[in-house]
Amino acid sequence: MSKILIVEDEEAIADLEKDYLEMSGYEVIIENDGIKGLESAMNSDVDLIILDLMLPGMDGYDICKQLREEKNIPIIMVSAKKDDIDKIRGLGLGADDYMTKPFSPSELVARVKAHLSRYERLIGSNQKSNDTVEIRGIKIDKTARRVYINGEEKVFTTKEFDLLTFLAENPNHVFTKEELFREIWDMDSIGDIATVTVHIKKIREKIEFDTSKPQYIETIWGVGYRFKV
Ligand code: CA
C-alpha cells in the first residue's frame, strides 16, 4: 500500500484530503508544520507528498528544494493563490505537479494515482538494469556477479565476491574478522576466522595495485578491516 504524506497547516483541508485518499486505499500521514513535514518526508518511507506552500516553520519552497536533494518521490504542491503556483513552476524546484486551492478531492486523488503509477513504472524500469556498486575504479556488478578493476574483468570465487561486495557496500565501517565470517559464511560452516584473512589476501591480489599498501581494503590492526571510500 502506498503511503502519502500531507504537509498542510489547515487541519480541515488536511483531514478532507486524508479521508479521500484513505477511501482510495492509501495510507496517509499528516504534518501540520513545515519543519516536521520535512523531517517526516526525509525519514519515513513515504511514496508521495502533498505539500502546501505557506506553512509555519518552513515554507513549501524550502521543503521542496531540500527534499529534491535527497529524494525523487512525486511532490504535488498546493497553494491558495494562483500566483504562487505560477511562481513555484517558474522556480523549477522539482515539484511534479501543482494545484490551486480549493480543488476537488477527487481530482487530487486522480493526480495522486497518476503520479504514483508513473513513479512506480520509473522505479520498475530502473530495477531492470543491473545492480552495481562502483568505487574508485572498482565496479561490482551484483546482478551478473562480475567484478571489473579499471575496466578489466577479474575472476572472483563466490566467497571472495560476497566478501568484497559486503565491504564495498559498507564503506568506512570497520568489521572484525568474526563479524565478516558470520556475515559471509554460514553459521554452521566449517572453518574459522583465519578463512577471512586468507580471502582478504586473495581479494587484495586482484584489486590492489600494491598489496603492501592497500588502497581499498585497509587493515585496522587489532580490530579488522575497512573499505576505504
Ligand atoms: Ca497553508
Structural domains of the chain sorted by starting position, each given as residue range(s) with its CATH number in brackets: 3-123 (3.40.50.2300), 132-227 (1.10.10.10)
Within 92-176, where are the H helices? Answer: 105-128, 158-169
The 10 Å Cβ neighbour count of residue 198 is: 12
Q: What per-residue confidence (pLDDT) applies to 160?
A: 95
What is the 10 CA–ligand 1 centroid distance (Å)?
6
- Give mean pLDDT, residues 190-194: 75
Ion ligand 1: residues, CB < 5 A: 9, 52, 54
Confidence grade of residue 190 (pLDDT, cut at 50, 70, 90): low
Please say if the pLDDT value at position 191 is more than 70.
no
Question: Three-class SS of residue 63?
Answer: helix
Residues in the chain: 229
Report CA(216)–ligand 1 centroid distance (Å).
50
CA 170: distance to chain centroid?
15
Tally of CB atoms within 10 A around 84: 19
pLDDT for residue 112 is more than 70: yes
DSSP β-bridge partners for residue 139 = 134, 148
Please name the residue that has the C-alpha cell 525523487: 72
22 CA distance to ligand 1 centroid (A)?
21
How many whole angstroms from 72 Cα to the centroid of ligand 1? 23
According to the model, what pLDDT value does residue 131 have?
Answer: 85
Q: How confident is the model at residue 109 (pLDDT cuts 50, 70, 90)?
A: very high
Strands 75-79 and 97-100, by their bridges, are parallel
Residue 187: the pLDDT is 64
In this structure, how many other beta carbons lie within 10 angstroms of the beta carbon of residue 109?
A: 17
CA of 60 to the centre of ligand 1 (A): 9
User: Cβ distance 138 to 207 under 8 Å?
Assistant: yes
Set of cell numbers at residue 121: 513504472
Of the two residues 185 and 22, the one the predictor is more confident about is 22
What pTM, to 2 d.p., does this model score? 0.56
How far is 138 from 134, CA to CA, in rounded Å? 6
13 C-alpha to center of ligand 1: Å? Answer: 10
Q: Does the pLDDT of residue 94 top 90, yes or no?
A: no
Dihedral over Cα of 178, 179, 183, 184: its sign: negative
Per-residue pLDDT, 188: 60
Distance 46 CA to ligand 1 centre (A): 21
11 Cα: distance to centroid of ligand 1 (angstroms): 10
Measured distance CA(149)–CA(177) in Å, rounded: 25
Residue 67 has pLDDT above 90, yes or no: yes
> How much is the average pLDDT of 104-126?
88
Confidence label for 53 from pLDDT (cuts 50, 70 and 90)? very high
**Cα-to-centroid distance, 37 and ligand 1 (Å):** 12
pLDDT at 208 over 70: yes
Going by pLDDT thresholds of 50, 70 and 90, the confidence category of residue 121 is confident
Residue 93: per-residue pLDDT: 82
**Does position 45 have pLDDT exceeding 90, yes or no?**
no
Share the mean pLDDT of the chain.
90
| Confidence tier at 168 by pLDDT (50, 70, 90) | very high
Residue 127, pLDDT above cutoff 70: no
Query: ∠210-216-218 over CA atoms, to 5°?
Result: 90
pLDDT of residue 85 exceeding 90, the answer is no
59: CA distance to ligand 1 center in Å? 9
> What pLDDT was estimated at residue 108?
96
Q: Which whole number is the average pLDDT over 157-179?
A: 94
| CA 226/CA 218 separation, integer angstroms | 5
